[in-house]
Structure formats: structure tokens, C-alpha cells
Chains A and B, each alone.
Chain A
Amino acid sequence: MWLYILKRALQGIITVWFIATATFFAMHNVPGDPLTNDRAMTETTRANLESKYGLDQPITTQYLIFLRNLSRGDFGISFVQENREVNDIIREHFPVSAILGVLAVVFAAIGGVLFGALTALYRNRLPDYLIMFLVILGISVPSFVVAALGQLSLVSLNTLMGFTVLPVAGWGTVMHMLVPALVLGLSTMAYLTRLMRSSMLEVTSSDYVRTAKSKGVPPTRIFTRHQLRNAILPVVTVLGPAIAAITTGGFVVELVFAIPGLGRYFVEAVQQLDYTVIMGTTVFYGAFLVFMVILVDVVYGFIDPRVRLDL
């Protein structure tokens, strides 16, 4: 198993290197650079800034310097936030995104499994129709709409109650997190519900469930031991990438709810061509995603004894 992990880790490093290289060259090919500003610069100022940031070097040299710094885990200083290191930006703002993401995933996982089991249990009856209708909504309505609606309903709720039940935006307490996390986790929850439902239905009609039932095993035991445990496997498979996707994909939610997460820096850096921040966040997110995928594969081996990791 250690060999397997090692192998996957090496593959992961190559993937991240590939992401970094592709991003680096794509970014430098876009017209303009971080120094472009709406007040035109004199040639001298531009030259000074270019030499200060090493932008006067040939692109291959810049790439090699970048790789060398990357190997030391140093992404340099942001072009826009001139006194902040990219590492500091990640360190300060990723935890916010991570907390929000974890909560969103917890919402999504609990909701997905419970609702999925419920729909399977009440198949073709009212709870099933109702939940599946909401699932379709959750999957098809984009998050910026859900976020805006969520915020709007908070405003209405607060107006109705006459005091602040839940804050409309901001960050810091549990109250700030609930609605953004719910919005962020909604589409994943919907997806997991559907997945859980189909996987439950498959298990429900399987031979071992029928056998268990016919030999008189109590229903709750059939449900938990035979159905739920087997049906939950596909859910675990998608959970890893989902964690990464949710944690990194919260830009819209962070913007709408004024949350100081990393997603905002990720997107704004691209708009502002802030080279160092683009590279830092991309490599970080890439590495995070790769790590989660590997982690899930390893965890899978523990949950399902049929999967063996001795390749």
C-alpha cells in the first residue's frame, strides 16, 4: 500500500508541474502584464518596475526562476498587494475558504445521504417526487442565482422579524457561515442525493438484501448493514473531488457574502494579471485537488475490503 501511495504521489507531482507550466506560459501570452495601469507609465518607470520584478528577463529564465522558487515553496510577492507574500495570502485566506468548504461538504454529505435514502425508501411516492424536484432545481440553478436569492431572503427574514436573525454578509461567527455554506453545498447535495438514490435502489433489489429479508433479519439492520453501507460507496468516491471543488469554487459565494476567502484572490488575480498570485493560487489549488483524489482512493481501500491497494 505504501508503494501505491508513493506511486500516486509521484503522478500527482507531475500533474501539478504540468498545471504550473501550462498556466505560466498561458498567463505570459495574454496581452498586458501586472504593471499595465490606466495611468500610462514612462519608459523609465516601466523599466525600473520590470527590473524590480524580474520581468525584463527572457521568459525561459523567468520560468526557471519560477521553478526554482516553486521547489522551495516560495511564490514571491504579489504584484497588486505589493507588500504581501503570496504564501501569506494563501495562509490567511485559504482557512476561510476551507472552513466554508468543509461546512458545505458536511451539509452536502449529510443531506445527500439522508435525502437519497429517503427517496429510495419512498420511491414513486410523494417524498420522492418532492425531493427529486428540489434536486433538479439544485443541480440546474447556477450558484450566483442561489446566492443572490439566499441573501435576499435573509434580508426579508430580518425585516420580517425586526431584528438580525442571520447576518446578510460578512464573516466571523457561525451565523455568518450557515447560509453561504448551504448555498455553496447545494448543488453537491443535489448531486449526491441523486447518486445515493440510484445506488440505494440498486442495492435494495439485490440478492443479499432479499436473502437477509427472507431469513428474518430486522428491517433496521437490513437497512443500515446491508443497504446503506453498500450504497454509500459511490458517494465516498465523489466526495473527495467534491471537497476540492467546493473549497476552490466558492468565488461567487465569497463575493456575494463578502467573505474574505481565497477564491476572490484567485479570480481577481487573473483579472489583474497578478502573475505571482495566479501561479500561487493555481498551483496550490491544483495540488489540493490532486491530494484529495489520492486521499479518496486510499480511504476507499479501507471502506471496501474488495479494493486492494497493492498495485
Chain B
Amino acid sequence: MSESSLNPVSRDDGFVRSVGGQLAKFAAYAMVGLALVIYLLSLVAGEAGSTISGNAIDYENNAITIALREEPPQLDANRATDASSNVVLAHVMEGLLGYDIDAQLVPGVAERYEIREDGATFWLREDALWSDGMQVTARDFVFSWKRTLDPETASQYAFILYPIKNAEAINRGELPVATLGVRAASDRILEVDFERPTPYFDKLVAYLTYFPVREDFYNSTNGRYGADADMLVYNGAYVLTDWVHGSTMRWVKNDKYWNRENKGFLDEIRTAYITQDINAKLNLFKDGQIVDTHLLSPMLPTAMEQRWQIDRSMDGSVFYLEFNHRDDRITRNKNFRRALQLAQDPNELVYKVLKEPSYLPGVSLFPAWLAGVSESFQKEYPPVQHQINVEKAREHLELARQELGIEEFPPLIMLAGDTPIGLLSAEYYQQLFRKHLGLEFLIDVQIFKQRLEKMRRGDFDVVLSGWGPDYNDVLTYGDLFSSWNLQNRGRYSSQEMDALIRIAQSELDPQKRMDAFGDIQHLLYEDVVILPMYERGISFVVDPRLKGFRRRSVGPEVDYNYAYIEQSSD
């Protein structure tokens, strides 16, 4: 007997037909039930944090919709460290100085200023107001700076205020907060004393840690300052009116803002989406839901198919291989480092391996966009022309082997992040050093925080590392490899370097100061402190109807402060 004859039911067409009808009826019931469930859920969902919907460009309300990469942890400028907070704060707050559309330093709350050898004076404008109508005064800056340095606040960015007199000692808890070298001479005059000459102080005050905080408002928040939209008082071009955590924000034009003629042209900016998924952002852009998004190289063909105008900009950061210079490491040997330096070529990495069209091959710690005395730094102080030379690399490796007195090199650890680009770079170097030098590198892939912790402990031989700028001055990179910089995780230490950095920090003559940076750049190459990999760039697309949008190398990664909607010609 076949299987089907055991089971008469399945052959019974009449049964199947009537049961099929029954099933269809059930399906219909299910649909009705489903509709009911969906309706009920939608009633609840409205209360559980809905997103604002709206098109990328809303002509009627003069508004745009954007996506944020991450939820800002909080919007307390004194303690903020992340890129998302930086973006939001750059739109809703203003420091003493700010940046114009072309990233040039321009007056903000201060209408003019003076920087001397021993200090600085800022004259605040009369019409700079908080969003509740009160005047922004010098005392708001004094309070903010003192609070940042107070050990109780434990601000991770307190170091950026160290040029102010006694700042570092206060932050270490060695001096009382009251001794900080900053005074409100009057409501509108702010006096600063320096610890040491700080010719670049104007660039520092544009940074968000230096933004003002009003004492009475701060006290009224009961320790929740910056936690919600109503836990902040604003003095920027926009104010935050809604903040649904993890979901949406609404920035509305600040009608109290003194410079509203020249900044903050949109009535409303809606951050309707918070997602790190770049594909989701691309889809939102394609669907006309957000005004801009950035692109990775695999997306470029799609973008070209759509005939979008693809823009590029440098995101400011530089990536490099950092050596561990601690005593017990093979990488302490200069000939060894020289061998690795001669065996690699950043051009090959960028053009043949990473293939990100917006990246530039790394030639120096100081990226191409930094300004020197009168034009670009790299133009004034051209970095050493690097040539790959495997012959010479092997000679240096042999020297290193003899100096170290070892038979052969043990496997070394290459610490890397878990990003696709990080992994690709690590694998490239691994096979490169194996092929040219016969060296074995073990790639240690770690997620962000673990990698940082291992760097701090010195648990690596080489690490794929990088640095993004805090302020628009060569020094934001220039002091990285001083012996006292905590960021110097390879513990490179040389008196020559330290002396040059001292000059770069304090020299008032711009030419001499830049010369010092030129020497630092040379020393970094000669001493093989690092191997530059690439300068990171970003390809991005913007809705053609939006003008004046900028991506920045310094400050907020995206800047809508000068953005406006182009009215259609008809």
C-alpha cells in the first residue's frame, strides 16, 4: 500500500474543499482580529515615544529633517565628549568665539578680544541673550570653567582648560576652585590669566567645554543639567524644544539669538531618526525623508546611478600605526621601526586596499587641511617624501636583530579595532610585513573600549590608532607625543620632542611657532614614532534644495547653522 492510501483524508477532494473554505473563513477572522490588535497597539505606541515624520525638506514650515548617528548621552557642554553631543550643542549653544560658514574663527558672545603673553581679555556683546531673555554675562563663563575644573565634576575634557592659570592644580585637587585665573571684571568683561603663554587660546574658547553655563539655572536643575530639553537654557542659533530619548529631537529657531540675521535660517530642524545603520540612512535619503547622509565606497555606484551630487570632505582625523616604545618591547629598537617604515607605503593602503575615494594617504601626523602661518601647513612644511625600499628595510631589520641580540623575531602583537576599515588595514600590514620582512604579526581585534584599555596598559607592540582634532590649531596634534601627554600610549619619550613641543605651546611669534611644528613633523619621521596610514575623509550627499550645509573637520561633524532651503524658482 502506498503512503497516501493509508491516509484517505488527503485524497478526499470534497473534504479538502470544504475545509479549505473553513480555513479561508478563519483567515478572514484573523485579518479582522489583526486589524484590531494593530489599532490597539497604535494607541499605545503613540505614547511610547513616537518619531516626528515629515519630508526631508518642508517648504511650508521652512523645516528640514535629519538623522543623528547616536543619542547624545547628555547635553552638558562641560562634560560632553562625544560627536553627537558636539553636533547638537554646536547648534543650540555659542561660545565666546565661533566659526563662520568657511570655518574661519569669528566673534560669538565676545564682540572682540585680546590675547597677551600672560592672559586674555574678552569683551562680551550686549545683545547676547539666553533663550529665556537674560543676558549672557562674563560670570556665566567663569561659573562654567570653574565647574569643569572642579574635581567633583570629573569632566573628562577638563584638560583643555589647562592653559588657564592654576587650572591643572585645581583639577588635581591641589588648589581650591576659587584660585582659577579667570574673573568677571564686569558683566561684559572677562579677564583670563594664563599658566603659560597660550597664543592659540582664541581657538580653544570656540570648543564646547568652554561654552557658558548659567549658575542660577544650573542650580535649579537639581543635578539634571542637560538631561532633557527643559533642563538646559540656550544661547545658540537654535533651541531644543523636544527631546524624546532614543528617538527624536526638535531644534527650533532661537528668536532671542543676537546673530539671527546671519545664522540659523531654518525655522525648525527635526532629528527624526537616531540610527548608526548607514544603509538605513541611505534608504531614508533615497526616500526623501532626510536631507543628507554619508556614503561608504560600496554605496557610491548606487549614488551615481541616482545621479546624486557626491561631495567629499575630510573629517579631520588622522590614522597611524603607533609603536610601543616601552623598554621591554622589540618596537623600542629604532632600526626595527625603520625597517617597518621602509617596508610599507600608505598610498598602496589607501588606493589599492581601502579604496575609499575620500581618504588621503597619510604622509604626516599633521593632516593636509591644517593651516600654517599663511597657507596650508603641509605646503609650508612639506613632509618627508617617503619611498618604499625593501632592500634597505631588510638591512635595518638585520641591524635590529644584532642590536637586540636575538636569533629571530618572535611573533608581535598588532592591536586593532573591530571596524571593517581597521580590520582591512591590519590584515594588509600583516601580510605586507610577512612578505617583505618575514615578520609574524598576530592581529588582536578588540572592540573600542577594550582596545583603548589595552593601549593604556601597553598591551601591544603596534596598534592601529588615530586622532581627531579638538581645536583648529596644529597643536591639537602637535603635543600628542610629548612625554607628559596621557594620550601618548606608546610612551614615546625624547627630550628633543619635549623641547620642541614646549616652544610650539608657548611661542608667540607665529613663524617660530610653526617652525617648531615643522621640526616636530621631521622628528616624528626620523625617530619613526608612528607610521601615518591615512587621513579619513567622508563622501556624502545633500538634498540639492538645501544650501549652506557643511561637514566640518573641527567641531561638529555636520553643521546646519548656515543651512537654508532654496526656494524653487516658480
- Give the distance to chain B from A158, nearest Cβ to Cβ, in Å: 5
With A39-B81, A260-B244 as given contacts, are A219 and B450 in contact (CB-CB < 8 Å)?
no
Residue of chain B at shortest CB distance from A45: B154
Instruction: Decide if B406 is an interface residue (CB 8 Å cutoff).
Output: no
Whether the pair B283, A45 counts as a contact (CB closer than 8 A) is: no
Contact of A96 among B48, B223, B225, B280 (CB under 8 A): B48
Give bound CA distance, A36 to B455, whole Å: 11
Instruction: Decide if B261 is an interface residue (CB 8 Å cutoff).
Output: no
Instruction: Decide if B327 is an interface residue (CB 8 Å cutoff).
Output: no
Whether the pair A103, B273 counts as a contact (CB closer than 8 A) is: no
**Complex interface residues of chain B between 82 and 132 (CB less than 8 A to chain A):** none
- Give the distance to chain A from B32, nearest Cβ to Cβ, in Å: 11
- Pick from B16-24, B355-363, B530-538 the stretch touching chain A: B16-24
Give bound CA distance, A83 to B226, whole Å: 8
Whether the pair B53, A103 counts as a contact (CB closer than 8 A) is: no
Interface size class on chain B is 35 or more
Instruction: Decide if A255 is an interface residue (CB 8 Å cutoff).
Output: yes
Residue of chain A at shortest CB distance from B286: A155
Scoring A93, A158, A169, A205 by chain B CB atoms within 10 A of each residue's CB, the highest score goes to A169
Whether the pair A169, B284 counts as a contact (CB closer than 8 A) is: yes
With A44-B151, A110-B34, A117-B23 as given contacts, are A99 and B45 in contact (CB-CB < 8 Å)?
yes
Scoring B9, B14, B155, B244 by chain A CB atoms within 10 A of each residue's CB, the highest score goes to B9
Give bound CA distance, A264 to B219, whole Å: 33
Determine the chain A residues whose CB is within 8 A of the CB of B7 once the complex forms: 204-205
Whether the pair B246, A264 counts as a contact (CB closer than 8 A) is: yes
Instruction: Decide if A81 is an interface residue (CB 8 Å cutoff).
Output: yes
- Give the distance to chain B from A32, nearest Cβ to Cβ, in Å: 3
Per-residue CB contact flags for chain A residues 124-164 toward chain B (1 = under 8 Å, else 0) read: 10000000000000000000000010011011001100001
Contact of B447 among A152, A154, A260, A271 (CB under 8 A): A271
Determine the chain A residues whose CB is within 8 A of the CB of B450 once the complex forms: 30-32
- Pick from A68-76, A173-181, A239-247 the stretch touching chain B: A173-181
Whether the pair A44, B23 counts as a contact (CB closer than 8 A) is: no
Whether the pair A40, B456 counts as a contact (CB closer than 8 A) is: yes
Whether the pair B41, A155 counts as a contact (CB closer than 8 A) is: no
- Pick from B71-79, B511-519, B555-563 the stretch touching chain A: B71-79
- Give the distance to chain B from A3, nearest Cβ to Cβ, in Å: 35
With A36-B452, A40-B487, A83-B227 as given contacts, are A96 and B14 in contact (CB-CB < 8 Å)?
no
With A37-B452, A39-B81, A123-B10 as given contacts, are A170 and B53 in contact (CB-CB < 8 Å)?
yes
Instruction: Decide if B296 is an interface residue (CB 8 Å cutoff).
Output: no
Instruction: Decide if A82 is an interface residue (CB 8 Å cutoff).
Output: yes
Residue of chain B at shortest CB distance from A35: B156
Give bound CA distance, A213 to B8, whole Å: 10
Whether the pair A84, B245 counts as a contact (CB closer than 8 A) is: yes
Whether the pair A52, B156 counts as a contact (CB closer than 8 A) is: no
Scoring B39, B50, B51 by chain A CB atoms within 10 A of each residue's CB, the highest score goes to B51
Whether the pair B452, A255 counts as a contact (CB closer than 8 A) is: no
Residue of chain A at shortest CB distance from B466: A38
Instruction: Decide if A92 is an interface residue (CB 8 Å cutoff).
Output: yes
Residue of chain B at shortest CB distance from A262: B246
**Complex interface residues of chain A between 1 and 60 (CB less than 8 A to chain B):** 30-34, 36-42, 44-45, 48-49, 52
Whether the pair B446, A256 counts as a contact (CB closer than 8 A) is: no
Give bound CA distance, A223 to B447, whole Å: 55
Contact of B246 among A152, A176, A265, A272 (CB under 8 A): A265
Residue of chain A at shortest CB distance from B7: A205
Instruction: Decide if B142 is an interface residue (CB 8 Å cutoff).
Output: no
Residue of chain B at shortest CB distance from A254: B275
**Complex interface residues of chain B between 204 and 233 (CB less than 8 A to chain A):** 223-228, 231
Give bound CA distance, A169 to B446, whole Å: 31
Q: How many A-B residue pairs have CB under 8 A?
A: 240
Scoring B73, B154, B452 by chain A CB atoms within 10 A of each residue's CB, the highest score goes to B154
Whether the pair B287, A223 counts as a contact (CB closer than 8 A) is: no
- Give the distance to chain B from A247, nearest Cβ to Cβ, in Å: 13
Instruction: Decide if A238 is an interface residue (CB 8 Å cutoff).
Output: no
Instruction: Decide if B247 is an interface residue (CB 8 Å cutoff).
Output: yes
- Give the distance to chain A from B48, nearest Cβ to Cβ, in Å: 4
Whether the pair B279, A92 counts as a contact (CB closer than 8 A) is: no
Contact of A42 among B79, B159, B456 (CB under 8 A): B159
Give bound CA distance, A118 to B20, whole Å: 8
**Complex interface residues of chain B between 1 and 44 (CB less than 8 A to chain A):** 6-10, 14-16, 18-23, 26-27, 30, 33-34, 37-39, 41-42, 44
Give bound CA distance, A100 to B243, whole Å: 22
Scoring B19, B26, B44, B231 by chain A CB atoms within 10 A of each residue's CB, the highest score goes to B19
Chain A to chain B contacts (Cβ below 8 Å), 12 pairs: A36-B449, A40-B456, A44-B172, A83-B231, A103-B41, A151-B279, A170-B51, A171-B45, A172-B50, A177-B45, A213-B15, A265-B246
Starting from the known contacts A103-B38, A121-B16, A219-B22, 17 additional A-B residue pairs (CB-CB under 8 Å) come to: A31-B453, A31-B457, A44-B172, A80-B73, A99-B48, A110-B33, A121-B20, A151-B283, A155-B287, A168-B287, A173-B50, A205-B9, A255-B276, A258-B275, A260-B246, A265-B246, A272-B448
Which 6 pairs show the lowest CB-CB distances between chains A and B?
A172-B50, A83-B227, A32-B453, A40-B486, A260-B247, A260-B246
Chain A interface (Cβ < 8 Å from any Cβ of B): 30-34, 36-42, 44-45, 48-49, 52, 80-84, 89, 92-93, 95-96, 99, 102-103, 106-107, 110, 114, 117-118, 121-124, 148, 151-152, 154-155, 158-159, 164, 167-174, 176-178, 204-205, 209-210, 213, 218-220, 222-224, 255-258, 260, 264-265, 271-273
